[in-house]
Amino acid sequence: MSIVATPSVDPRYSSVIKGTALVAEGGGQRGIFTAGVLDSWLDVNFNPFEILIGTSAGAQNLSSYVTKQAGFAHKSIMELSQDKHFFNLKRSFIGGHTVDLDWFFNQVKQSKYQLNVKAGINAIQDRDLLFTTTNVTDYKAHFFRPNNDNWLTLLKASSALPFLYKKGVNIAGDYHVDGGLSAPLPVEEAYNRGAKKIVVIRTIPEGSQAMTPWLHRLRSWLRSRKQCVKAVNYYVHHENVYRRSLRFIENPPEDVEIIQIFPKVNLASKLIGSSDLELEHDYLAGKDVGRQLLSMGQLDFLAHQMPCTNVVSSTHWQTKSLQQAS
């Protein structure tokens, strides 16, 4: 895989540009592609975004980005999500969590993997950082701003796959699960909060199946557990929300400009259970993409003061296959 030389970046992009937003989609271990993109931007101190909204793995990636901990998300995915303590289907048969987020975020509190929440709080004084969750009672999307006390709790809730992490995460008396269920692509939320120039980092190619991949996998697991009724409710709700998000992106208001960053083909990594080789391949692909975006000036529109008019563009990036890369 070719790696583009690290570009120099206009100092304007190191501080907040009003009306800009970054939206990070989830995708489980596929989020390592997003980690690569954001780490390449951290290398040159590129972060002009006033609003940042992350869903599930996207929320974890944005945490690494705003705390300026390049490599944090990469290490979390490569090591923690690969550990046998994190994912174990057998635990569900004895009343445990299939995906043990308690163990995962206990590790994030340790020095080796620790998220620098204090640095994050300082970094978002002039930005709006939001993590998405879904209330299990009414399926409504919630957008929480993290603080010193709840940052890891919100990350856990945003990543809590229904059924695989039992009831979800208790926030102020209500249980919340994965934000991808009700806010898989919260671009409209960014617009409603004042964003006029929006960058969206995706983890699946354009034109892929309408629903996000984790729901396919979840549905197959639940069929074997005879929990289809609620799974179908989740499925229908998610599909409706996802299609609405795509309609907004494809036909946005006249005063917003949206750029989507897609991998051109399916990433090598999966929702979970990826090999180290697959994960490293996609991380390096993400770093390559991030550098190319900057060196080719495709993010310069963020600093333009001219009014934009109903523009949507999709940036596709072809990377070498895993066989070629190795």
Residues catalogued as catalytic: 56, 178
Give the 3-state secondary structure of residue 316.
strand
Longest dimension (CA), the chain: 60
Q: Are 231 and 218 in contact (CB under 8 A)?
A: yes
Q: How far apart are CA 82 and CA 280, in angstroms?
A: 13
CA–CA dist 104, 160 (Å, integer):
11
Strands (E), 8-97: 17-24, 49-55
Burial 125-157 (b: 16+ CB within 10 A, else e): eebbbbbbbbbbeebebbbbebeeebbbbbbbb
- In terms of Cα–Cα distance, which of 258, 260, 266, 250 is closest to 314? 260
**Per DSSP, which regions of 121-172 are E strands?**
128-135, 141-144, 169-171
Judge whether 217 and 271 are in contact, CB under 8 Å: yes
